[in-house]
Amino acid sequence: MPYNRKVMEHFTQPRNVGEMKDADGVGKASNNVDGDLVVIYLKVKDEIIQGVSFQTFGCAAAIASSSMFTEMVKGKSIEAAQRIDKQMVAEALEGMPANKVECSILAPEAFRQAVEDYRQRKESSLRKNGVYLAKE
């Protein structure tokens, strides 16, 4: 199955692409089968995603799905954004070849890693500034 118009649009004109130097969180995900790698960068304020960008090294599907994912999470709460999965990204792209959904849509996993990095940095900063967090 060839890529549709929407996938090709996000592949040839990706949104939110590039490294974010002052990111609050950075996460990576890779596919060991074909070597795709996605890096997600987050800027967060009050648990809302203010900025998101990506670098993807991989096929057209990996680039297009990363671009679409960043568009889907921008402005959302971290909690809401974490509910976006591979299938939702594929649907937003109006379909993907079945063999590409599992191997090329890595952005949701990279995002989860970026959120974890953000939370660790935030906790570390609070401790450094003398604020101690109670364990839930």
* Domains of the chain: total: 1
Query: Does residue 114 lie within any of the structural domains?
Result: yes
- pLDDT for the residue 77: 98
pLDDT averaged over every residue in the chain: 91
Q: DSSP string covering the chain, please?
A: ----HHHHHHHHS-SSBS--TT-SEEEEEE-TTT--EEEEEEEEETTEEEEEEEEEES-HHHHHHHHHHHHHHTTSBHHHHTT--HHHHHHHTT---HHHHHHH--HHHHHHHHHHHHHHHHHHHHHHTT--PPP-
Residue of 98 and 80 predicted with greater confidence: 80
Query: Does residue 100 lie within any of the structural domains?
Result: yes
Lowest-confidence region among 13-22, 93-102, 115-124:
93-102
Query: Does residue 135 lie within any of the structural domains?
Result: no
Provide the residue range defining the domain that includes 106: 5-128
Q: What is the pLDDT of residues 48-81, one digit of tens each?
A: 999 999 999 999 999 999 999 999 999 999 999 9
- pLDDT for the residue 136: 45
Q: What is the pLDDT of residues 120-133, one digit of tens each?
A: 998 887 766 665 55
Give the mean pLDDT of 28-47.
93
